[in-house]
Amino acid sequence: MPGRFLFHLLILFFVSPVVVSAQQVSRVIQEQCATMQRLQVQFERNPDLRKKFEQETARFTNAVKRGAYRELDSDTNATSKTTYIIPVVFHIVSTNPDNITDATIQAQMDVLNRDFAGINEDTTRVPAYFKPLFGRSAIQFCLAQQTPSGEGTSGIERIKTTKTSFVAGSDAERRISTGGVGSWDTKRYYNVWVCNLSSSVLGYSTLPNDAGASDLQGSTIDTRSLPGGSLTNYNSGKTLTHETGHFFNLLHIWGDDGGDCTGSDLIDDTPNQADASKNCASGIKTDACTTGGNGIMYQNYMDYSFDSCLVMFTRQQVVRMESALLAYRSSLTTSNGCTQPVLKKFDARLASIDQPSQRLCSSSFTPAVSFENRGSQILTSLDINMRIDSGSIKTYNWKGSLAYLAKVTIPLTNITTDTGIHTLTIYVTNPNNNADENIINDTISARVQFYNAVASVSEGFEANTFPPTGWDIVNPDNFITWKRVNGISKSGSSSVMIENFNYNTVGQKDDLLMPTVTLQKIDTAFLSFQVAAATYSGVSGNSSAWDTLEVLVSTDCGLTYTSIYKKFGRDLVTRTAPTTSTFIPGTTEWRKDSINLVNYLGKDNLLIAFRNTTGYENNVYLDDVNLRTVVVNPNLKRRGFMVTPNPTNGIIAVQFYPQPSDLRALQVYNIAGQKLLEIDVEAGQENNYYQFNLSKYAPGTYVVRAVFTDRVVTTKILKF
């Protein structure tokens, strides 16, 4: 797009911010690429960055035009050019990362290399009038062959996460603290994250001079966009080609100016274009910015056409990308990431402890682990050792056949612990009965806890120790989570809360788990708690990203959970007015909620969790958590109606089992038939417990009558 250099219009005309910020009340509007929206958010957080970015962009663009980084002759497609090989690592971040196969990633690499080299079969779709502009880049890519620490690798890293999707442009998938995974050395590797992105966004990238954190540099693509992915028309792998163009300093071909024809992609051989293209056009297509001639270049990888329609970079786009590589990312060209390391013969890597989770429901359990062969020799035997704290070592002798870089998950032998919080350490030794030549990757430790199940819970979080004994926290992103706070409470002086006000990773889940519970030989069980909550943006509108509080129950020690309480928005808040500062509830801004656990009577080893799902709104508090269980008197169970104590010296309790639905009155008569006391019961207000005080009446025999709609039940009591 020649001519116009009003670069600030790239930013001023953004109308679709992607990154969610409750503090700025910006919500997601659908977009296909979030690169420029991510940059806009950075500018909002750091106004000085905008000026520096524009100045550096102008400097670089002028330098490219002067040929500062390469000879800008007319033959930019010469086959004798130096080829730059860039090592790529794919970080697959998913709830089930194994669903994306190595073959799919290799197919994506093939698309990327063909598109950059200009040898993709669909170049036949380049119209004759644009063929003189067709560019072939000397940038090529390989899957990394060694890790930053020098170990062999496939260039594909699979990370299991609890997050079902990530907000495009938020960088959450690029941080361990927000449910993702960190980069490999960005000076040596082109990092590509593959995950599920929220809404319709397919990807985004960092620009070389955006002044972003060095460890966040790279591109993210949606799993649906991979070759053979689930998104029709955008599943040929061209999204990564587009985002890699951004990574090497290309802008959108239409200049992101909202259709004003005043923006620019800073490329001289791309036609001026009003806005992003959709679908797949054919023939010459004109618009308000290019009204004649050969029309716009909807075939360009930096547009939004269907994958089948995207077939070319221009010569000057190639010049800009190769210049950006040498100006900003030259260390990638000297990386040894594409060189296979000299392998150790015997190198077993313990990849993960898959079982147990941190909560144990029995003192005896069977760990499960995954390990990988990083050695050149086929792995046929391995000792897997485990211990609790500093206790005795228990060894499992594995035998099998595991090729280089192959991985296997296996259960080990049973191990026993006692009550309390412990460290489970597992390490591997003796691969093929030889010394392991790389002990750095042999050991993993995990926190586990076991306490005997309890029949009731009463917790006001008053003790300084948090979590209280038997409780624990599941914090998948190791970021903001449940914590105890002093001076804020419904009763006492403390409560627990989670700072959704500062928790900008929308959709992240954090669990506060109660002690393991048994409801065996119990007749009634109720869970009650005090809750306080507010929102930043108010509750009058519709939102898909409210803070959400759930109560979950697991009957299989945390493998699966069932939600028995879920509130968000207006149903959750105890302050309805929007609160744009951190929410601190007053004494009247609490609500007691109660849950009947009747469906879980007779169960043992129940796990009950309070789950917060952040919507980046405002804080949620809990206090006075009580699990109350009742064992019904056998006589009451048998008779359904009982008065105790009998005889009495004053106060008597009238009890029913089960709770009556048609009780209308309770009455006390003396032996002469005179009615002394009465409680009227309205329909729908029946209870299973009532009291009378006979203290002022003379000793003797009295009759208690329960009046139902269709019958009367009586019993005699003795007053002494």
* Residues belonging to the active site: 243
H-assigned helices in 102-147: 102-117
Of 279, 240, 266, 278, nearest in space to 116 by CA: 240
Of 655, 665, 664, 643, nearest in space to 718 by CA: 643
DSSP bridge pairs for 641: 656
CA gyration radius for the chain?
Answer: 34
Name the DSSP letter for residue 83: P
CB 559 within 8 A of CB 567: no
Tokens coding 11: 């930013």
Of 377, 405, 442, nearest in space to 153 by CA: 405
Longest dimension (CA), the chain: 120
Positive or negative CA dihedral for 559, 565, 569, 572?
Answer: negative
Cα–Cα–Cα angle for 427, 428, 429, rounded to 5 degrees: 130
Tokens coding 26: 């910006």
- Residue type at 490? K
Q: Tell me the HSE value of 297 on the side-chain side, using a 13 A CA sphere.
A: 30
Q: Find the helix or strand (DSSP H, E) in which 53 lies.
A: helix 47-65
Tokens coding 590: 């609490």
Of 553, 614, 617, 613, nearest in space to 583 by CA: 617
Identify the residue whose tokens are 């928790």. 503
Between CA 272 and CA 104 the distance in angstroms is 36
- Residue type at 389? D
Between CA 417 and CA 225 the distance in angstroms is 47
